[in-house]
Copies of this chain bind each other. A is one copy, B any other.
Amino acid sequence: MTSATPARPPGRPRSGVNDVVFAATLSTVHELGYARATVERIAAAAGVAKTTIYRRWPTKGALIVDCLLDAFGPVPVDGGSKAAILSGAIRWIAGKIGEPGVGDAFAGVFSDAVSDPGLRLILATRLQDPYRIALQDALGEPEQRVLFFIDVVVGTLLHRLGMTGVPMVEADVDALVDMVLPVFG
């Protein structure tokens, strides 16, 4: 019979520094901005060799995406009215984008994806799809409409952050909710 827990592969196991690298990534991006947060600097901040990072993530973009997945966690899709689900999702992502480092990393990796189809695929499948599917299930809306919803919400929040360097204030998030609810609620 095959064991339920797969046998540990031979050789030295990886040290558990992923969380340290994620924290170093966010703090470095927060302090220096996305472009100046080089892999070398992130590695130094994490107390780790650059090669260790490239053994775990193939590119800087993949590292950032995993870091964001770790920072976001699961979507809080509390059962409730459609309006409650939508406004909850908007306020949740707006709050995350306001956390130090998270918004900059989010906007930065989107930036790189503009001219990098490989990164665009990672972004779509690893980051966007899980949240899109969760929203589809919770709302019972077709894929197209949920994608449009995501474009509006994330696009607006990131455009504000990118143009001003400051996350959107609460009053404008309220306005965003008020604008979106009649269409999707």
Copies per complex of this chain = 2
CB distance from A90 to the nearest CB of B (A): 13
The yes or no answer to A91 lying at the interface (CB within 8 A) is no
Which residue from B110, B117, B156, B163 sits with its C-beta under 8 Å from A152? Answer: B156
- Chain A interface size band reads 35 or more
The yes or no answer to A113 lying at the interface (CB within 8 A) is yes
Name A157's closest neighbour in chain B (CB-CB).
B155
Chain B residues in 8 Å Cβ range of A165: 117, 120
The yes or no answer to A151 lying at the interface (CB within 8 A) is yes
Name the segment of A4-12, A52-60, A75-83, A172-180 touching the other chain: A172-180
Contact B35 A163, beta carbon cutoff 8 Å: no
The yes or no answer to A51 lying at the interface (CB within 8 A) is no
Contact B34 A115, beta carbon cutoff 8 Å: yes
CB distance from A29 to the nearest CB of B (A): 9
* A interface list, Cβ under 8 A from B: 33-36, 104, 107-108, 110-117, 120, 123-124, 128, 148, 150-152, 154-163, 165, 168, 172, 175-176, 178-180, 182-183
